[in-house]
Amino acid sequence: METKRTTHNASSQEMLPLLIVVNKLIDGGLLEKDDRDHLSLSRQSFVIPMVGSVQAGFPSPEEEALCDIISMDEYLITRPESSFLVKVNGDSMSGAGIMDGDLVIVEKGRNPKNGDIVLAEVDGEWTMKYFQRKGKEIILEAANPRYPVIRAKSELRVGGVVTAVIRKYHR
């Protein structure tokens, strides 16, 4: 059986949205064009199109349009060489929007500031809490009023600062 191949000559108006996307991918460093205008991936990266913004209050009549292409790893991780993921267990940070089962990205080596969420080892136990320095004392505070303030009895070591939260709604 012979298949018939048809060609479609797209108008420049039909090609414009595709060209815009391709040019954004080239400008973003995700695609490369060789001397014969062939396209190839320049690196492995998790990218996803950003199609606009959404009103979280009242509905907006905005149409969906491609605004940008975002590399999720570059957006979420500033320093990949010193970052790692930790799965959250418990609800002590629920007031900060960090829920049981979420993943947090932690950056080692960043000096915590008051109000930063940190991963810390306190007297041999690991926890994630708000960092507060009051004079020479460092305290760790939960984002859930059911949990007490933590003060180290002997040792407190900050393992890193939480820089992002990842939550998956559907598995």
Q: Which residues are catalytic?
A: 92, 129
User: Measured between alpha carbons, how far is 73 from 66 in angstroms, rounded to an integer?
Assistant: 19
Among the listed residues 37, 35, 62, the one whose alpha carbon sits nearest the alpha carbon of residue 51: 62
Inter-residue contact 108 to 148 (CB < 8 Å)? no
DSSP state of 36: T
Structure-derived torsion over alpha carbons of residues 85, 73, 46, 34, reported in degrees to the nearest 10: -140
**CA angle 167–76–66, rounded 5-degree value:** 90
Inter-residue contact 61 to 147 (CB < 8 Å)? no
